[in-house]
A = this chain, B = another copy of it.
Amino acid sequence: MVIDWSDGNKSSLYSLWLRDHCQMPESRNLDNGQRLFSVKDLPSNITIEKAYKDAEGNVCVMFQPENHLSVFCQKWLRENCYELNSHFEDRSEKSKKLWKKDSFDNGLPFISYDLMHSDDTSKVLALRSLREYGFFVLNDVPTQDGQVLKVISELGFTRETNYGALFEVRTEVNPNNLAFTNLGLGSHTDNPYRDPVPTVQLLHCLESSTEGGESILVDGFKAASILREESQENFLSLANTWINYRFSDSKTELRSRVPMIDLNDKKEVIKVRYNNRSIDTINVPQDKMRSFYKAYRHWSEIIERDELKIQFKLSEGDLMLFDNTRVMHARTEFSKSGKRHLQGAYSDLDGLYSLLNRLEMKNNND
């Protein structure tokens, strides 16, 4: 393990981890661990006078000209070593289990709502499935009006939008969205015309007596990785071309300018957006139009490949929850006879992952 002491970055060597494992340093608030000084408060001529190991095995560093002694316990240093540890909260494809149709031979992540409701172990199981696969399905959720909002309140927070805190998915007359017809819908992510996009979607099945109307899920990160394998050029075209999405109705006029594939600093996929219904006029320089459409068509073809799709029918009481920045959803057309009624809502990953982090930390401390 090598730590570069010479850069004077004493703030980098403090961390909230210290609270759990070592003594809280004076430079942080005792109650909440927040840092009490700004990097600009450090003298620009900062140097290390000496560094040594004390009797308890802590690494001690004496900084000048402030005569400030920083003490780092070994556990903290190990947990924050640049070489041993990866970044946390990495939402990129690298930290996920990418999947296609045949990845679930042992069954889909269906979890009993009763168990999740009452037992932290099931909650961890469900939330880990969200983190790793991008979705889970709860069974036997009471088919009561508004229940989807109760489920969110057990896990995180509702993101209210122009569709309401909760929206009804059933066949409507003059709907403001094709989702509210009996048409089949191709694989898509929701609300790409919204910035910030809702990062979690829930769909709760209250009634299901039509023919058809089956749910389809596709791992958008897997689809993006296939696009990259088949054509690096097309992959980069979609990552580097920002386009407009748009949604209008009588009260709403939502617009965004975003890429279909979002990359992080390491050029790993962190977010996908795909919704052919709401892509607006493509405003790309004329000399890039042809290559953009080539890439867009290729990506659309991959997304609709059968080997990528898992398909199942939501029964009454099933509630599907998925990462709307990764997993695309679709449905098959359904008959006009019988009833199909879902209630949907949006939430955000940060609240759900916060709960998962707390539960995992609790388990580690048990």
Q: How far is the CA of A33 from the CA of B349 in the complex (A)?
A: 30
A67-107 near B? 1/0 per residue, CB < 8 Å: 00000000000001010010111110000000000000000
Q: Which residue of B lies closest to A243 (CB)?
A: B87
Q: How far is the CA of A87 from the CA of B277 in the complex (A)?
A: 19
The answer to whether A286 and B255 have CB atoms under 8 Å apart is no
**Could you say which interface size class chain A belongs to?**
35 or more
The answer to whether B16 and A246 have CB atoms under 8 Å apart is yes
Pick from B31, B175, B194, B278: contact of A174, CB below 8 A.
B31
The answer to whether B32 and A286 have CB atoms under 8 Å apart is no
The answer to whether A89 and B244 have CB atoms under 8 Å apart is yes
The answer to whether B82 and A4 have CB atoms under 8 Å apart is no
Q: A199-B196, A293-B39 are in contact. Are A176 and B15 (CB under 8 A)?
A: no
Which residues of chain A (158-178) have a CB below 8 Å from chain B?
158-162, 174-178
Pick from B175, B242, B276: contact of A39, CB below 8 A.
B276
Can you sample 22 A-B contacts with CB below 8 Å? A2-B286, A8-B293, A11-B276, A11-B279, A12-B281, A14-B281, A16-B246, A31-B175, A39-B297, A82-B283, A88-B244, A88-B246, A88-B255, A89-B244, A157-B161, A159-B159, A162-B351, A195-B199, A195-B349, A195-B350, A196-B199, A254-B357
Ranked 6 nearest A-B pairs via Cβ: A89-B255, A196-B196, A253-B357, A34-B277, A40-B300, A12-B282
Q: Which residues of A contact B (CB under 8 A)?
A: 2, 4, 7-9, 11-17, 19, 29, 31-40, 42, 44, 80, 82, 85, 87-91, 157-162, 174-178, 186, 194-197, 199, 240-242, 244, 246, 248-249, 251-257, 259, 264-265, 276-286, 289-290, 293, 296-297, 300-301, 304, 348-351, 353-354, 357-358, 361
